[in-house]
Amino acid sequence: MRRIMLLGSQIALLLFILLAPGVTLAQGPEPPSGIPTPAFHPPFPLPPIRPTPLPPVEVKYIRVAVDIKDHIATTQVDQVFYNPADVPLEGTFLFPFAKGVSVSSLVMHVDGKVMEGELLSKEEARRLYEEIVRSRRDPALLEYIGNDAFQLNVFPIPPKGERRVQLKYSQLLEAERGLASYSYPLNLPAFAHLVVNEVAVSVNIASRVPIKAVYSPSHPVSISRPDDFKAHISFEGSKVTLDRDFRLFYSVSESELGLTLLTYRRPGEPGYYLLLVSPQVKVEPGQIVPKDLLLVLDVSGSMTGQKLEEAKAALRYILGNLGKEDRFNILAFSSFVQPFQRGLATAAQRQDALKFIDSLQAQGGTNIGAALEEAVAMVSGERPTIIIFLTDGLPTVGVMDPAQILKESKAKGRPGTRIFTFGVGFDVNTMLLDSVAQEFGGASQYVKPGENLEEALSSFYGKVAAPVLTDLRLDYGKVQVLDVYPPRLPDLFLGNQLVIAGRYRSPEERVTITLRGMADGRERVFEYAGNAFPEEARDDTSLPRLWASRKIGFLLQEIRLKGQDRELVEEVIGLSKQYGIATPYTSFFVPEPGPVPLGRPGPMGTPVPMPASGRAAVEQSQTITSYSSATVAPTAPTGPQVRVAVDKTFVLRDRVWVDAAYVEGRPTIQVPFGSPEYFRLAERYPWARSYLAVAERVIVVLDGTPYEVTELEASAYKEIEPGMQDTPLPVEGSDGPSADSRAGPGPVSLWSRVLSILASVGRWFRGLTG
């Protein structure tokens, strides 16, 4: 029977470490005593003991159900493992808990039978993690040092057989200033290639205090809010790559508007922050701000048939969901503009408006300029005004120059006007529609051929039907913020939360954030005291890439609408290389053979095409919008030669994973993998464990100093003399490590160290080779 270790599931950390794809069983360096020990070198195989590795154990599905009641979370995990090998596999299941988890109960079943295991303290788990890192040459567990763990005795998986593992545990979620977070690890860099057929996470939250923000920075979740005291969050995916933990934040507050702050900062660098502004889910009718709504509909000849019928159905839905105090008008346009009536109508006139909609027919050209001008001229300025502008074509009548159309519309526009544009099909001028939406504080949306226009338009209106606060402004007190996206704050609507990403300098522990906005013609002010922009914060490692995505989206839109500027293009390329985000100007394609270029910029002499209309234009606009409005960090590029960790990108060069911030040829401080210096480096820079976990051999720049993790030497199996344990790590500018320190720790008792670290691996190894 072959013996393996399972790393337990706070997702499938449930991995069979020694049989991961690409891992070759190899004979490692012999310690001075001559005792052979196994080494596992995915990138650097030594002479193999077996020519072919056994196939990796597969994870068929991972299902996680979480119930959170007043910050007490009960998690139930259901997973199935499959052994594709022709021999039985025997494993030990190791389950690392997230940091700060206080486990109150834990029950585990394997194929329906209760299994007994042991909870390991932080100290016991630390020793076990370090042994796994050293003996299996696997740095991935560095991120879990300091966590508690659960270890289960060995259980066999028969050839071509399955084992179902069910786990249930409870924990108390810590809440600070009303903000609680839940984490379920689904990320192990060394096994990011593993694809799980099905991953499903379901979270139910119930609270006696009203729930405000509900946000996942890690996964695109679906959120349902039946009332202010309950929330249901779900994520479902197939063929899921295990490259990020599932993270969920939620806040509770009695205030009318909730404000939630998340931060990430490495010492000595500007920090990242995410601000969530969340209104109540249910409000009294008097709390909703009355609005004016202008529906501008293209009825040119190209709208004939299904498109016009779907647009009419959407307009009927919108009129049926007007507020009692709302006013509206409908402007149908083709070669000329035909309004429902001159001036704004009240909600009581809906029946007449429905008859007007029924009478509309598709004919004539497309006079976009006249329709926009007449719509903005109808804005009273007395209350928030939303203009929904829908077209399926290019300007063919009247003013046809997009720049002139935008200029004339701006000249007649009034404060408080928001224009949301809808392009139907591919034959639309995306430059014009995007420019209008950006200029008037709205957004653009496109409905591709085959997509349902009625559903898209009705769904959109549901998000903007009830304004709560308009013309928003934020004051961060003594904290200096920069690069805030979106640069212009949108209005706040019932049932939606604002997501604002930025960076900050001058850390402050107690800051009052002030939010101002207009409601029903008067200014309202909300103050939130006690917010922290700390010197060091590493609770949410997704913030750097989320912020970078938004900035890249903003820059790409500027380039697209205003022309390709060299400085903007270079800034996009720089952000793409640092944060590992693909753009039209960069790629992560690696030619073979040859060096590995990270983010290959296209020459400025041949700029990236930016079409105004057609399929490519629509898709380009949608891609840029997905960057600029991202609420989840973009998926990191995957492949054999590129890896991303937090805010750094690593590329494989000469069998070493190299930090994109490293300057080629610069001297490095060498740290042997698995040595005491290696673990002291992880202790000195706790936020750098994600970087060290990328691979066994890495070059990473920390606080301006490049460190190179080198191959494990035989001396790494030796114990350290007591006096050497506190040997400080060298930094750039010092004399560097001595020859002795480069070679590894000093000798003491080889036998005790080898036996304590490699006992279980030795048994497995002897069984394999015997």
CA distance 490 to 555: 18
CB of 698 closer than 8 Å to CB of 650? yes
The residues that bridge with 277 in the sheet, in sequence order, are 259, 498
CA distance 598 to 653: 11
DSSP code, position 382: S
The tokens describing 694, both together, are: 């990328």
* DSSP track, 499-527: EEEEEE-S-EEEEEEEEEEEETTEEEEEE
Which one has a higher pLDDT value, 720 or 406? 406
- Check whether 628 has a pLDDT greater than 90: yes
Which one has a higher pLDDT value, 452 or 37? 452
Q: What is the pLDDT of residue 639?
A: 65
CA distance 335 to 637: 48
CA distance 626 to 623: 5
Element holding 573 (H helix, E strand):
helix 566-579
CA distance 643 to 580: 8
Q: Which sign does the torsion angle of CA 589, 591, 594, 600 carry?
A: negative
- Check whether 38 has a pLDDT greater than 80: no
Question: Is-cis flag, bond preceding 593, omega within 30?
Answer: yes
| Spatial CA neighbour of 21 closest among 1, 40, 8 | 40
DSSP code, position 45: -
Q: Which sign does the torsion angle of CA 31, 32, 33, 36 carry?
A: positive
- Check whether 50 has a pLDDT greater than 90: no
The tokens describing 374, both together, are: 């007449």
* Average predicted confidence (pLDDT) for the chain: 79
Average pLDDT over residues 349-366: 95
Q: Given pLDDT bands bounded at 50, 70 and 90, which one contains residue 318?
A: very high
Element holding 549 (H helix, E strand):
helix 543-562
Q: What is the pLDDT of residue 48?
A: 38
Least confident of 73-82, 303-312, 522-531: 73-82
Q: Which sign does the torsion angle of CA 399, 401, 406, 412 carry?
A: negative
CA distance 742 to 47: 25
Q: What is the pLDDT of residue 644?
A: 86
Residue 596: Cβ-neighbour burial (10 angstroms; 0-12, 13-18, 19+): middle
Residues 6+ away with beta carbon under 8 Å from 109: 115, 164, 165, 166, 167
Percent of the chain with pLDDT over 70: 73
Residue position matching structure tokens 């590992």: 580
- Check whether 20 has a pLDDT greater than 50: no
Residues in the chain, overall count: 770
Q: What is the pLDDT of residue 711?
A: 84
CA distance 219 to 234: 10
Q: Given pLDDT bands bounded at 50, 70 and 90, which one contains residue 164?
A: confident
Least confident of 139-148, 489-498, 520-529, 546-555: 139-148
Convert the pLDDT of each residue in 582-603 to its tens digit. 888 876 433 333 333 333 444 4
Q: What is the pLDDT of residue 116?
A: 62
Q: Given pLDDT bands bounded at 50, 70 and 90, which one contains residue 658?
A: very high
Dihedral, CA of residue 475, residue 479, residue 483 and residue 485, to nearest 10? -40
Convert the pLDDT of each residue in 184-197 to its tens digit. 878 755 455 567 88
CA distance 597 to 642: 10
